[in-house]
Amino acid sequence: SHILAIENEYIRATFSPKTGLLVEIENLEKNLVLPVQQAFFWYNASVGDRISSQASGAYIFRPSQQQPLPVRRWAQTQLVKTALVQEVHQNFSAWCSQVVRLYPGQRHLELEWTVGPIPVGDSWGKEVISRFDTSLETDGVFYTDSNGREILERRRDYRPTWNLNQTEPVAGNYYPVNTRIYITDGKVQLTVLTDRSQGGSSVRDGSLELMVHRRLVKDDRRGVGEPLLESGSGAWVRGRHLVLLDTVQTAAAGHRLLAEKEVLAPQVVLSQGGGAPYNLR
Amino acid sequence: SGNSAPLNEAMAVLQHHDAVSGTSRQHVADDYARQLAEGWGPCEVLLSNALAWLSGSKDVFTFCLNLNISICPLSQKAASFQVTVYNPLARKVDWMVRLPVTKGVFLVRDPNGRTVQSSVVVSPSTEQKDLSELLFSASVPALGFSVYSVDLLTSRDAQARTPKPRPKNSS
């Protein structure tokens, strides 16, 4: 029944003692509190339906229904606290886990997820997402970047240069996320930085989601000629999402500097030491 | 002698959308992986040569390519090793180094020989495998590198904690 939380001088992340899920992020520096529920879900991949025979595949994302299914509604959690790191380990299932991490002096929350091998023994293709649900009133608008350069405004069920007839309420609102995606209500901004290009969207107001892994059983007939289905047991994927909660006025400075640090991350090389002196001759 | 050209070429091939978006057939994806792996070999030699030149020491450098899944044979076996952290950014960064190690007490020293605060974390997922992670914060100059030294302390060392002579400096 104790409140499960990790915090440093800038951020506090609170987890539900009942479900083990992240439920709140607090920016202690700016006095911002945002209820954020984060969890993993999966879309059941379409194999074609009455409207279209198009199956979800390597080229095409087409879920069979709008609502994704939770990997699990609760996570088994374990807390690790040392002087240099605080971590909440969340285990959602045999193929989905996450470590939520905070280092001292860090202004962002780090979510390191591990997903896979996605089970497809039930013959259902699965497209796994990490979703952040907040109370922010975003009015159908979210933002994604374009190769880390421009940030583009994305409006749900809308294209700026033609009248859109939206036939795919989920996939039709997915956009490439090269380094970041964010939502805002004009005052508070929730930004998620990715460590790789992913698909992302805000399917509902206040919600933000990123696709982390997919495994499909049917070819989408767009040229590959085989389903997105690794041989053997399937692939494990591990990646990181860096979450920033800030005011709209100062958010850009934070996510731009952090994205630079992520894209051009320090490289580590080890050696035994004690090597012979080296000179060019 | 090292060579970055094969990796350059592999990376150029991998700009194709098939490699970026995963829309290739499995045997093509396998070939992309092969090209990357073959390109990395000679490039690793090139990087080792560059590091030897910059640091003034001919060490056998080890690139732990599986650090994201907490696997690094050198840090897991050696009782003493050096960690070179290179920062490609044009500003100084402080960065938390995480290295898989066997359980024990470690002494980490910065390029000036000063002891750096470190933690050994036994996470729930690694506990069963008798594996822990060594954490310490590295400070790295802009477009430069820092060399930290790590020593596994014996129980007697751990009690005494006597500072050792400073390791090789860096810039």
Question: B50-88: per-residue pLDDT in tens?
Answer: 999 888 888 899 999 999 888 999 999 999 999 999 999
pLDDT at B154: 79
Taking chain A, what is the end-to-end CA distance rounded to the nearest angstrom? Answer: 68
- CA A12/CA A27 separation, integer angstroms: 7
- CA A79/CA A85 separation, integer angstroms: 11
Contact between A273 and B80 using a beta-carbon 8 Å cutoff: yes
Q: How confident is the model at residue A200 (pLDDT cuts 50, 70, 90)?
A: very high
Q: Could you tell me what percent of chain B has a pLDDT over 90?
A: 67
**Contact at 8 Å (CB) between A52 and A122?**
no
pLDDT at B149: 96
Q: What is the CA radius of gyration of chain A?
A: 20
The mean per-residue pLDDT over the stretch A230-237 comes to: 87
* pLDDT reading at A155 higher than 90: yes
Contact between A270 and B61 using a beta-carbon 8 Å cutoff: yes
**Contact at 8 Å (CB) between A157 and A142?**
no
Write down the residue that tokens 């405004």 correspond to. Answer: A153
> In terms of CA atoms, which chain B residue is nearest residue A87?
B123
Mean pLDDT score across all residues of chain B: 88
pLDDT at B170: 46
Q: How confident is the model at residue B171 (pLDDT cuts 50, 70, 90)?
A: very low
Token digits of residue A144: 């994604």
Mean pLDDT score across all residues of chain A: 95
For chains A and B, CB pairs below 8 A equal 135
The nearest CA of chain B is from the CA of A108 a distance in Å of 13
Q: How confident is the model at residue A26 (pLDDT cuts 50, 70, 90)?
A: very high
* pLDDT reading at B152 higher than 80: yes
Rounded-to-10 torsion of CA A173, A174, A177, A183: 40
The mean per-residue pLDDT over the stretch B139-161 comes to: 85
CA distances from A141 to A159, A163, A190, B130 (A): 12, 17, 13, 48
pLDDT at A276: 83
The nearest CA of chain B is from the CA of A265 a distance in Å of 7
> What sections of chain B are H helices per DSSP?
5-13, 17-21, 26-55, 73-77, 155-160
Helix, strand, coil abundance in chain B, percent, nearest 5: 35, 30, 35
pLDDT at A280: 65
Contact between A80 and B121 using a beta-carbon 8 Å cutoff: yes
3-state secondary structure string across B79-99 = CEEEEEEECCCCCCEEEEEEE
**Contact at 8 Å (CB) between A24 and A13?**
yes
Per residue in A237-257, pLDDT tens? 999 999 999 999 999 999 999
Per residue in A113-152, pLDDT tens? 999 999 999 999 999 999 999 999 999 999 999 877 899 9
3-state secondary structure string across A14-35 = EECCCCCCEEEEEECCCCEEEE
pLDDT at B9: 96
* pLDDT reading at B35 higher than 80: yes
Across A72-81, A159-168, B102-111, B122-131, least confident range: B122-131
CA distances from A175 to A59, A127, B48, B164 (A): 14, 15, 40, 54
**Contact at 8 Å (CB) between A189 and A183?**
yes
pLDDT at A88: 96
**Contact at 8 Å (CB) between A99 and A90?**
yes
The nearest CA of chain B is from the CA of A24 a distance in Å of 23
